[in-house]
Amino acid sequence: MRFRTPDGPITIKDEILGEATLPAGEVDDFVIRKADGFPTYHFAVVVDDELMGVTHVLRAQEHFNNTAKHIVLQDALGFRRPTYGHLPLIFNPDGSKMSKRDKDKVLRKTVTDRKLAEPPAGTVDAARFTAWLGDKNTQLDYEEANRLANALDVALPEINVDDFRRSGYLPEVVCNFLALNGWSPGENREKFDNAFLTQAFDLSRVVKTPAKFDRVKLLSFNCDAITGMSREDFVRRAKSHGETYHAEFMRKLTPTQFESLAGASHERSKTDMFRGNRFLVLADDAFVYDAKAAEKNLRGAEPNGVSHLRALRALLAEVKAWEPAALEAAIKAYADAHTEGQLGKVAQPLRVAVSGGTVSPPIFDTLSILGRDSSLARIDRAIKQFG
């Protein structure tokens, strides 16, 4: 069933875009009731808004032209007209619209590029995989997408609010940053909390242009917010985040180990500290050595990293109290005697040996958290593998 659109131009008043008039004949008669008896979105939204007493409709600019349909419907039904505001769209860096379908886009492209005819085992049902591959409108659900991404070893972009939360973005930072895409309070102010936002937000300061979503800047905001927290707050929130999203990780650390890790990670955390420190909870023979890091820090001309590790291994086995201060004293003494005090020369080989890479919390904390047995086992493994 269609609605007969009245003749004549339709003027849309918008708090953000101003006034725009669509010439007569621009809006075709449109369906308000589908063959299955259900009302279409256009009809339902107009009726619903009236019944709910909605006063303001704030939605994305892609709805701007639809507003004309809603207005003629409201007039025909004798409904009140809410105030409209069409907010700018949010884009990806490449200028495409940021969309919930972007994860599927990444996966579909990877699958196509690699010419995979079948889904990797244990990811997605084969029939579903084929249907998904052939239809750009089909979306994998959260678990399916993650399993497939894992199997293909590709990173999925954060899109949904929960994706950001899961990744370790603070809710208040996400609100702050989102508000800045399309709006600003002026006066060179861009860091604020929700209380400020509620009192300062004003449609008249919303911009008309689409914004490219700058993940790097979001990350910087998040890092600042984390650094700005008290140590207690950080540990508390990290713990709660870990329990929700990294239960396995949390189970493998004692409360003391966790506190050490959190304390050592606070100042360097941009998001959460779980993904980057996975080596802490993997078995001593299970984490992977980064080839470049090992080449640079363990091999090379004598005395190289491995030769230092051999000496350090013997030395560390003798350390009485396995805690940061004692480890620091022992390792520093070694550096003074053998590398002209250059700690980096011994710290980096150690770091690669126990973590697999060149980035970790401070080395003394790292060793301390790992414990004597794991640390020595990992050093042995590195010596064996790269010596």
Partner RNA sequence: GGCCCCAUCGUCUAGCCCGGUCUAGGACACCACCCUUUCACGGUGGGGACAGGGGUUCGAAUCCCCUUGGGGUCACCA
Using DSSP's 3-state secondary structure scheme, residue 383 falls into helix
The DSSP bridge partners found for residue 1 are none
Please say whether the beta carbons of 254 and 368 come within 8 A: no
Of 100-108, 118-126, 360-368, 378-386, which segment contacts RNA by CB under 7 A?
360-368
Which residues in 196-235 contact RNA (CB under 7 A)?
A: 205, 207-212, 214, 216-217, 220, 223-224, 227
Shortest Cβ distance from residue 188 to RNA (Å)? 4
Among 15, 47, 54, 66, binds RNA (CB under 7 A): 66
- Least distance in angstroms from the C-beta of 147 to RNA: 26
What DSSP string describes 183-234?
Answer: B--STT-----HHHHHHH--GGGB-SS-EE--HHHHHHHHHHHHHTS-HHHH
Show contacts with RNA in window 82-111 (CB under 7 A). 88-89, 91, 93, 95, 97
- The verdict on 128 binding RNA (CB under 7 A) reads no
Q: Pick the stretch among 146-154, 231-239, 351-359, 379-387 that binds RNA (CB under 7 A).
A: 351-359
Q: How far is the CB of 57 from RNA (least distance, A)?
A: 13
Which range binds RNA by CB under 7 A, 59-67, 121-129, 158-166, 303-311?
Answer: 59-67
Cα distance between the two ends of the chain: 79
Contact with RNA (CB under 7 A): which of 351, 353, 368, 378? 351
Nearer to RNA, 150 or 160 (CB): 160
Tell me whether residue 124 or residue 346 sits nearer to RNA (CB atom).
346
Torsion angle of alpha carbons 196, 198, 204, 206, nearest 10°? 80
Cβ atoms 331, 350 nearer than 8 A:
yes
**Residue 273, class by beta-carbon neighbours within 10 Å (0-12 exposed, 13-18 middle, 19+ buried)?**
buried
Q: How far is the CB of 31 from RNA (least distance, A)?
A: 4
Residues 157, 179 contacting (CB under 8 angstroms): no
For residues 24 and 327, what is the distance between their CA atoms, to the nearest angstrom?
81
| Sole binder of RNA in the list 26, 48, 135, 243 (CB under 7 A) | 26
Which one-letter DSSP state was computed for residue 33? Answer: B
- Spell out the residues 6+ positions from residue 353 whose beta carbon is closer than 8 angstroms to its own: 298, 305, 309, 378, 379, 381, 382, 383
- Residue 13 binds RNA (CB under 7 A): no
> Can you tell me the distance from the alpha carbon of 98 to that of 105, in angstroms, rounded to the nearest whole number?
11
Give the total of residues touching RNA (CB under 7 A): 68
Q: By CB under 7 A, tell whether 48 contacts RNA.
A: no
Contact status: 181 vs RNA (CB under 7 A)? yes
Structure tokens at 334: 């070694």
CB of 261 to RNA, least distance (A): 13
As beta bridge partners, residue 91 has: 97, 212
Q: Is 362 in the site for RNA (CB under 7 A)?
A: yes
Of the candidates 360, 362, 370, 371, the residue with the CA atom closest to the CA atom of residue 321: 371
Least distance CB 274 / RNA (angstroms): 15
> Which of 36, 113, 153, 285 touches RNA by CB under 7 A?
36
Stretch that binds RNA, among 72-80, 122-130, 239-247, 267-275 (CB under 7 A): 267-275
Closest CB to RNA among residues 161, 359:
359
Beta-carbon contacts of 372 under 8 Å, excluding residues fewer than 6 positions away, are 316, 319, 322
Torsion sign, CA atoms 317, 321, 322, 328: negative
Least Å from the CB of residue 336 to RNA? 9
CA 64 to chain centre: 30
Query: Which residue type, as a one-letter code, is found at position 223?
Result: C
d(CA 176, CA 183): 10
From candidates 15, 50, 64, 380, binder to RNA by CB under 7 A: 64
Q: Identify which of residues 10 and 376 has a Cβ nearer to RNA in the complex.
A: 10
Of these, 78, 134, 188, 291, which contacts RNA (CB under 7 A)? 188
- Return residues touching RNA (CB under 7 A): 17-18, 20-23, 26, 28, 30-31, 34-36, 38, 40-42, 61-66, 88-89, 91, 93, 95, 97, 180-184, 186-188, 190, 205, 207-212, 214, 216-217, 220, 223-224, 227, 267-268, 270, 332, 342-344, 347-348, 351, 358-363
